[in-house]
Each structure stands twice: as structure tokens, then as C-alpha cells.
A and B are shown apart, each in its own frame.
Chain A
């Protein structure tokens, strides 16, 4: 089946540790995105990538890093510099044909930092 996978569904880490969230897609989409969602908040863009080996900062990139070495994969690292890392993290992808292209979302990873 084609789709976007994120693992794990739930992740717990101690304060001060870096943690990497995985996102894989087999939809042959060029663009991939990472969002953060906090209770009662909309989705806020962390990083996005429109092509392999290139990515851009979103609205809240501080304390996060990404890589895009393969078209299918866009891992997000939450570093110890991120002051409030506990949140629901969503990955999305789409083609880059134009504005009508819909972003499709993975199931999300809920990160809790203790």
C-alpha cells in the first residue's frame, strides 16, 4: 500500500537528549514537511524539503534539524536546544506540481520529554 509512515507512534525521552523521528513515504512525492501540533493549536511548520539534498526552515525551526538524503525519507531530529519539545509531530508529503496538490499526512508521533 502507498502511504506515509511515521515511527514510533509514542516516544519518551529524558530532558537533554536528542531524539530522531522518522518519516518515510512511498508515494513518489517530491516535497515533504514536518509540523508540530500542541493542544488547542493548529499545525505549525518546522521544516520542509522540495527536493533531495535541499530543505528550508519553517516558522518554528529553532531547536530542530532535518536531512533529506533520499526522496523517500525526511527524518526530524529534536535537539536539546528545543525548549518545549513535548508535542504531536506530523509529517506530510505532496507532489510539487502546483497549488492544488494536496498534502497527505502520516499518522504522527507523540513525543513526551520527561
Chain B
């Protein structure tokens, strides 16, 4: 089975850097996704990691350590529009489905 843990809420200030952690326990690891979801809207794709290391995409970066069952999403130069829920999801064996964490609600204040 799959188990994914991430913090429920985080707060940060505009212009700052924030790191959202995700730990997972899986019977077989096939990769990990991060999605952003604004309230009442659809999740949108941010990143996918399957190999160890850091993937950078503009202000957002995602890190994976397979040996530790750990990933994080790093958001730099925070903007008010980054206030959203961030969902961590692991790819299940067979590659056909995802298991999602409960999401981390990030609130960016002025």
C-alpha cells in the first residue's frame, strides 16, 4: 500500500522562501508528482521526480531522496498568488494510478 504525509498548513511572507515536505511509504516507488490547487479549482501540474536530486523550474524546485522516502517542494520569491494547496502524489505500481497526500495549505501574507 501507499502512505503519504505532508504538513496540513504553512504560512510565509511575500518574497520569502518556503519548503513543503512530503514523506512516503510505498511498496514500490515509480515517481512522485507535485500539484498546485487553488481553492475550488482543478489541481495543476508542477513537477515530477523519479530520480534522486533537485529539479528546478523557475521559482519552483522539487527534490527527491528515494533512500529516505522524502521529497520537498521549494518555492522562492513568494507571491500572494502562491497561496494555494500543494498536493504530493506517488505513482502506484503498474503506473496506472496515483495516491495523493492530503495536501498542504500555504498562506502567503503581505
Q: Which residues of A contact B (CB under 8 A)?
A: 31, 33, 35, 40-45, 48, 50, 58, 88, 90, 96, 98-108, 110
Contact = CB atoms under 8 A, between A and B. Distances in A.
A96 to B, nearest CB: 7
A43 B87 contact: yes
Contact of A102 (B8, B48, B95, B102): B48
Contacts of B8: 40
Q: How extensive is the interface on chain B, given as a class? A: 20 to 34
Interface of B: 4, 8, 30-31, 33, 40-45, 48, 50, 87, 89, 91, 95-98, 100-103
Contacts of A33: 97
B30, B44, B87, B98, most chain A CB atoms within 10 A: B98
